[in-house]
Structure 1
Amino acid sequence: MFLRSAGAHRRPSRRTIPAAAGVAALALLVTACSGGGGGGGDSTGGGGDGTTLVAYTGQSGDYQINFNPFSPSRIGGLGTIYEQLFFINKAAESDPVPLLGTEYAWNDDGTELTVTLRDDVTWTDGEAFTADDVVFTFDLLAATPAINNIGYAGTATASDDTHVVFTFEAPAFVQGPDVLSGVPIVPEHLWTDVDPTADVVEEPVGTGAFLLGDFKPQAFTYTANPDYWGGEPALQTVRFLSLSGNTAGADGIAAGTIDWQTGPVPDMQNVSTNFPGYDTLTAWQNQMVLATCSSVEQGCAGPQTDPAVRQALYLAMDRTQLNSLAFQETANEISPTFALTTSQESFISSAIDEPVAPETADPEGAAAVLEAAGWVKGSDGIFAKDGQKLTVTVEVVTGWTDYITAVQTLGQQAKAAGIDLQTAQSSWNEWTERRTQGNFQLAIDSLWQGPAPDPYYLYTYFFASGSGAAVGEAAGNNYSRFSDPEVDAALEQLKTLPLDDAAARQPLFDEIQATVVEQMPYVPILTGGNTSQWNVGRFSGWPTEDDMYAFPAVWSAFDAAEILKRLEPTGS
């Protein structure tokens, strides 16, 4: 395994689908975080031999090799190479799917989680997988805050080669889903000298169904693992491409040279008619935002550090126009609390006056908010304060045509409210670097949901101060650098409560939501419609509306790994 250092980046986080599990199943659910782009091969051509699937994740610009599963700039490996203990389908209610783990159980007070492991698994270098690898991985997480995006605070102990006990100082039912399915397990015998925050793994060794094949900056491949504990997959090769953006992806679908992408194509409502041999699936979950570098205390600078500016941007949006011009009417409503209205409406505080973001713009309301905060409109129609013009820049990835259209439209809408909103395009690598290090004012992105239909997970991912960092240092999920001690305290209390104790939990959600809506470090846009197009002529086994066995997005790594394991070439 060869390593080299690299700066911290984030993966492209795009849009996902609502969870559908009932309250009784919440404690059983596990997370499947959306993952970064992968790739393969050196051209945009199809597989040719009928056994190679060509996929495009939205990667714009060359790949920089990085298969460190804990690195924000990883380009692949989650689920395919590095497996978690269980897989939970966040697209439909179902039991956890055993992977490296086969069974698990909590003690009565939620302070001890026991996991039984498979005894027939080997790493792809031939070494045996044991409980020591699981303990090592979780010890690494606990000792390295920069990679501990799930907020793991337990102690892992191997009772023998096939049993691990996770012990927590306080009840930790809500941590169960992330512990069980959100952590890729790495081999202790190769990782003892790895810096998980900086090292780049060029020759990854895992337990998954696929191996890394060829790597080139334009593409890379996975090949089937013939010794996989679950049996060698029928899909022999997966090639992930790097292209110029969404237009190239749509062109590849039209030409039949791409077999799977999750992104916009013309007339998305009629893919099966327009592209013979293809089908499509749209679902909703992740919430599109203008993320801000929000904290002056953490080193953020610019007008966006004023909550009034963030509130004004929220009011300036014409979401109906955005949905039409940028998203082909595939997006859905959004709550400023970030509780999904489709599956989490019961969690929205009754004290929130406007539980759903307005569909039309309110430039007068936006101006009133700014004026109350001391901003004064100039002769050019743009507000200013203390000699600083209200000009803010939104970072967007080159080639993400839907997001580019969205921010250009937002610029026109913001101008009507007295805000000068500029756009800066860059490669995904540059965009990720700026967000992770805090060298940005705003970035269009989306916030993803957790393993259960419960807003706790999004709040702890994106609003807990522990996953933030000072500007210039690598942040975790909370790249807005938001910090509020009362929100942190409420999240800590929620960790100790059973997921079905609504009476005890709702006051804590009320407190968090009041601050989230007032401070708005992530300015809500819309809940994105997540649309995949895939080649049903060449491959069978894709999810359908009747059998949504995994969240159907090529960039949602753990889910995509489950899909790739189920696909079979048709021979066409």
Structure 2
Amino acid sequence: MRRKLALLRALVMVGFAMLAGCGSGDAGKPEALGNTQAERTGAGAELRLATTWPYPFHGNPFGPGGVGGAWWLIYEPFAHYIPATEQYVPRLAKEWSVEGQAVRVTLRDGVKLSDGTPFTSDDVVSTVTMIQALWSWPYEIEAVEAPDSLTVVFHLRSDVDPNAFLYTLLTNAAIPALAPKALYDRFLPQAEEVARLGKEIFAQESAGETVDAAKKSAYEDKLKALKKAIDAYQPFKDAGNVPSVGAYLPKRVTQTDFVLERNPHHWEAGTSTVSRIVFRNWSSNEFVWGALVANELDAAHPLMPKDVVEGMAAQNPALRVMSVSDLSDVALLFNFRKPLFQDDALRKAIAFVLDRDKVRDISAWQARSYEGEPATGILASAAGRYLPESEKDKLTPYRHDPAQAENLLREAGYQKDGSRWKTPQGAPVRFTVSVYGPHNDWVLAAREVVEELKRFGFDVDLKLIPEGMRDQVILGGDFEAAIDFGSAWWGFPHPATGFDRLYRGDVAKATGFPADEPSPLLAGASPSKLAAELLKNPTGDDAPEKIVALARLTHEALPVVPLYEKVLPIYYNTSRFAGWPEDHDPLWTLAPGGIERVYVVLAMSGQLQPKTK
């Protein structure tokens, strides 16, 4: 431990040295940070963060690396969704409505691009055309029209549920204004043809039809030509700007610093308290930590060892930390294609063998352990909102209880031969736990899981999945048991998303769980069918009942054993700004998937107030 601390301190000192200077020339010289009272207060206040970006910086969102971590500063969605309150907060949109297979969006009046020209529905149509052409997404949108300058109507495919797609449509910043018409007009004829062909091919393949080879070839040739033309477009390099509707615009970009200045035409410019945001290059967690301690950053989210964070107050009393759910579980997945794991008793016994607290402490100490909790597929941080206590009390919690595990196995016919367990058929309980090698925290979790299972009497080995092979191994079902993501609420943060992943999505593909078979726990319905119904209408009158039913099934069927819920630790510095949200503020739950959204809201709304000396 002493060597570990010494190494960490050395790395932090290297971080300090990097902050002091990084060689000669603009490409390596850090941006001079504002230190005068005028630069630290009022309209001149500067917020200091950390991220990564492509360099040389081209400013083309469709180019290699896009705009890096400045995405949520340069671009803006129709709305933000706050998971803690389950409410949308309008941004570029004023209002919206679902009308059959269409979604009508009314734009916020008075929004302008950074060059002062009005942002209109034509810019949205242009953007959808470009992203469908270049990214083959979102094909859920069959057509988009602009009946007037402030109205956009998205016509969705007949097999797309508008309510289920609404979250993506409203909250993804790529859809409204990534490619304003005036800037991309010269590319639109090509893009319209590529998008049309792409959607036709997608529709044919979705219907199980064979696509003509000549049509595919024509599509690929036209897409290649469009990409070549787009890659040559470098607005920041050629013109020194990236016109957009976002809150902040790139001003100066080097290898070490990314400087953005407030968009003077932004619709919130009048309430903003931060005129400039400076990103430092996130070269390592240790560098970022050193910058936080040295008061050179106002906020960041590095992953640091427990002993270092516990000494935070002594290193810098102005630092604060709070954690929010990262909207995913790390779990032990079972492969139901293997006869061994088709036995409920064995899976439940394993759930009682594991010490989740110990796995969490070794792997991701700030995470939320599932020790003593039911395995419902509902994230622990949100269980109180979706699983009534009266229903939770009906479920036997899984906790480290080797005696209970042994009872379950013996009742099912398992026997011990010396210190090793054998199946009712007399074969050793032997399997391998696979884990993706590059994910160090997962590897630590897997090693602890393997050791605990071996101590209990199972023959278990660890197998590392090589870099770049994770999807092939996990989604291809080429494993026996594995450490990977279990339930995850990415996209739409709701139990419906987690159950869809478990019974229709990636986890279902990985585990081979018989999700299409009727279950007596679901009154004869299949898990996949009920999950699909819930995803289609996650806020309907019968949604709470479906959530409880799927939670009960997940706990009893145990397709995965959740180990801990991942969290995002956020460190913020109170030395230069007041107005940081309280720990319980729902705004923090906007952080997963784009913490910069939180910083933009704080900076542009005026909540973040610069301190004066």
Structure 2 length-normalised TM: 0.62
CA contact (8 A) 1:250 1:265 kept: no
**Alignment partner of 2:356 out of 287, 310, 319:** 319
* Residue 174 (structure 2) aligns with: 184
**Alignment partner of 1:562 out of 558, 583, 601:** 601
Q: Residue 49 of structure 1 aligns to which amino acid in structure 2?
A: G
* Residue 48 (structure 1) aligns with: 33
Q: Residue 181 of structure 1 aligns to which amino acid in structure 2?
A: T
In the alignment, structure 1 residue 100 sits paired with structure 2 residue 138: no
Alignment of structure 1 residues 351-362 onto 2, 5 Å? 355=395, 358-360=398-400, 362=402
In the alignment, structure 1 residue 338 sits paired with structure 2 residue 331: no
Q: CA deviation at 1:544?
A: 1.7
In the alignment, structure 1 residue 162 sits paired with structure 2 residue 147: no
- Residue 86 and residue 501 in structure 1: after superposition, are their counterparts in 2 closer, same or farther (change >3 A)? same
Alignment of structure 1 residues 117-516 onto 2, 5 Å? 117-123=107-113, 129-135=119-125, 152=140, 156-166=144-154, 172-182=162-172, 184-185=174-175, 186-187=178-179, 189=181, 190=184, 193=191, 206-212=244-250, 221=258, 223-232=260-269, 234-245=274-285, 247-262=286-301, 263-264=303-304, 266=306, 268=309, 271-272=312-313, 274-284=315-325, 286-290=327-331, 314-328=351-365, 331-333=368-370, 335-345=374-384, 347-348=386-387, 355=395, 358-360=398-400, 362=402, 365=405, 390-395=431-436, 397=438, 405-417=444-456, 418=458, 420=460, 422=462, 424=464, 442-445=482-485, 448-449=488-489, 454-460=494-500, 462-463=501-502, 465=504, 468=506, 480=510, 484-485=515-516, 486-495=526-535, 497=537, 499-502=539-542, 506-507=545-546, 510-511=549-550, 514=553
- Residue 303 and residue 210 in structure 1: after superposition, are their counterparts in 2 closer, same or farther (change >3 A)? farther
How many residue pairs were aligned?
504
- Residue 405 and residue 61 in structure 1: after superposition, are their counterparts in 2 closer, same or farther (change >3 A)? farther
Map Cα deviations across residues 259-278 of structure 1 (whole Å, 9 max, x no partner). 32224454556744552221
* Residue 21 (structure 1) aligns with: none
Q: Residue 357 of structure 2 aligns to which amino acid in structure 1?
A: T
* Residue 28 (structure 1) aligns with: none
Q: Residue 180 of structure 1 aligns to which amino acid in structure 2?
A: L
Q: CA deviation at 1:101?
A: 0.4
**Following the alignment from structure 2 to structure 1, what is the Cα–Cα distance between the partners of residues 562 and 48?**
34
Map Cα deviations across residues 333-385 of structure 1 (whole Å, 9 max, x no partner). 45422224554457559999974752315497389779979999999989999
CA contact (8 A) 1:293 1:440 kept: no
**Following the alignment from structure 1 to structure 2, what is the Cα–Cα distance between the partners of residues 537 and 571?**
10
Aligned-CA RMSD value: 5.6
Q: Residue 535 of structure 1 aligns to which amino acid in structure 2?
A: N
**SS, match of residue 169 in structure 2:** helix
Q: Residue 416 of structure 1 aligns to which amino acid in structure 2?
A: R
- Residue 365 and residue 508 in structure 1: after superposition, are their counterparts in 2 closer, same or farther (change >3 A)? same
Q: Residue 460 of structure 2 aligns to which amino acid in structure 1?
A: D
- Residue 330 and residue 550 in structure 1: after superposition, are their counterparts in 2 closer, same or farther (change >3 A)? closer
- Residue 433 and residue 511 in structure 1: after superposition, are their counterparts in 2 closer, same or farther (change >3 A)? closer
Q: Residue 317 of structure 2 aligns to which amino acid in structure 1?
A: P
**SS, match of residue 96 in structure 1:** strand
**Following the alignment from structure 1 to structure 2, what is the Cα–Cα distance between the partners of residues 510 and 225?**
49
**SS, match of residue 82 in structure 2:** coil
CA contact (8 A) 2:499 2:550 kept: no
Q: Greater helix percent: which structure?
A: 2
* Residue 75 (structure 2) aligns with: 82
- Sequence identity (%): 17
CA contact (8 A) 1:456 1:491 kept: yes
Map Cα deviations across residues 420-452 of structure 1 (whole Å, 9 max, x no partner). 35375988xx58887898698545457543688
| Larger RCO (CA within 8 A; separation ≥ 6) | 1
- Residue 358 and residue 488 in structure 1: after superposition, are their counterparts in 2 closer, same or farther (change >3 A)? closer
**SS, match of residue 529 in structure 2:** helix
CA radius of gyration, larger in? 2
Q: Residue 236 of structure 1 aligns to which amino acid in structure 2?
A: R
**Alignment partner of 2:574 out of 532, 536, 541:** 536
**SS, match of residue 551 in structure 1:** helix
Q: Residue 498 of structure 2 aligns to which amino acid in structure 1?
A: L
CA contact (8 A) 1:272 1:280 kept: no
Structure 1 length-normalised TM: 0.66
**SS, match of residue 74 in structure 2:** coil
* Residue 210 (structure 2) aligns with: none
* Residue 38 (structure 2) aligns with: none
**SS, match of residue 359 in structure 2:** helix
